[in-house]
Amino acid sequence: MATYDLRGKKTLITGAGSGIGRATAIAAAGVGAELFLTDINGTGLAETVDLVGRAGGTVSHSLPFDVSDFEAVTAFADDIHAEFGSLDVVMNVAGISAWGTVENLEHRHWKSMVDVNLMGPIHIIEKFLPPMIDAGRGGHLVNVSSAAGLIPLPWHAAYSASKYGLRGVSEVLKYDLKRHGIGVSLVVPGGVKTGLVQTLQIAGVDRDDPRVQKLQHRFEKRAVEPSVVADAILAGIAKRKYLVYSSNDIRFGYWVARKFAPPYEFVLQKANDQFSKLLVPRRVEGSSKSTSSVRAPGPE
């Protein structure tokens, strides 16, 4: 795929009310993207919209809601598509975090991680990618996972369940969407200086314990600013890169984890190409265009 330019592209960013999402919104506006923003925190989202506007950027639509609420995502998507048509770039940034050993984690921890970090992006993908495909202009999908979606970090079982899941979705879509000219980037930050550091839930741990505070301080020293991740995301989109790192320690750690793994990208792409031959044209409602879909099994 050729270099992708965000200038004038209709770009959705979730989690835009703070941290990586806000930094990415400001960076994308700086290169001329037309923004569509959301965050569960309405106050933070309004602040981001104001910051983008003062910097000369364009926010065409913004709305606070929870991405884990499928009905809210559906209403948001319907409103955007009715007024603005399909989008060009979709960035799933919104996320939450909780750590803990399995004997300390509660059901609510597991469920909230999957609901927000995995089902949230799936809801966005489900509602925004099919119209992007039908428009036939190509585009780009960004999913922000984590180092914990690459490497089995201690106490991260619930968090990694969501982030490894998002990585799996992203890797499949990397191949599935290629024939539509849609690139996919999986962002895998290490430590980032966001509000998650302060609000992080650690089940079974006293946050006031000096040892825990020391560990948190070490984490914060190694963490990068959200703007660093935002710049990496924009560079990844421009270069159509799949894996996007924000720090070399995670890049090295993942290289060590997979250095003996056999190359498989070629095989996966060939397999996907073969599966694509099973597709039959699908008529796009209200258009003379047709795209491809799988014929459902059953009687003719």
Residue range 94-148, pLDDT digits in tens: 999 988 888 889 999 999 999 999 999 999 999 999 999 999 999 999 999 998 8
Q: If DSSP states are collapsed to H, E and C, what string results for 152-209?
A: CCCCCHHHHHHHHHHHHHHHHHHHHCHHHCEEEEEEECCCECCCHHHHCEECCCCCCC
Q: Give CA angle at 161 (157, 165), nearest 5°.
A: 155
Cα angle 231-30-125, degrees, rounded to a multiple of 5: 65
Q: What is the mean pLDDT of residues 265-292?
A: 62
Q: Which of 4, 159, 164, 175 is catalytic?
A: 159
Residue 225 tokens read as: 């600013």
- Catalytic annotation present for 159: yes
Q: What is the pLDDT of residue 214?
A: 73
pLDDT(283) > 80: no
All structural domains of the chain, each given as residue ranges with its CATH number in brackets, are 10-263 (3.40.50.720)
Two tokens, residue 288 = 């003379």
Q: Which pair of tokens denotes residue 74?
A: 């559906």
Q: What is the pLDDT of residues 162-216, one digit of tens each?
A: 999 999 999 999 999 999 999 999 999 988 887 666 556 677 767 677 776 776 6
Given a contact cutoff of 8 angstroms between Cβ atoms, the answer to whether 125 and 186 are in contact is no
Residue 262 reports pLDDT greater than 70: no
Cβ neighbours around 102 below 10 Å, total: 10
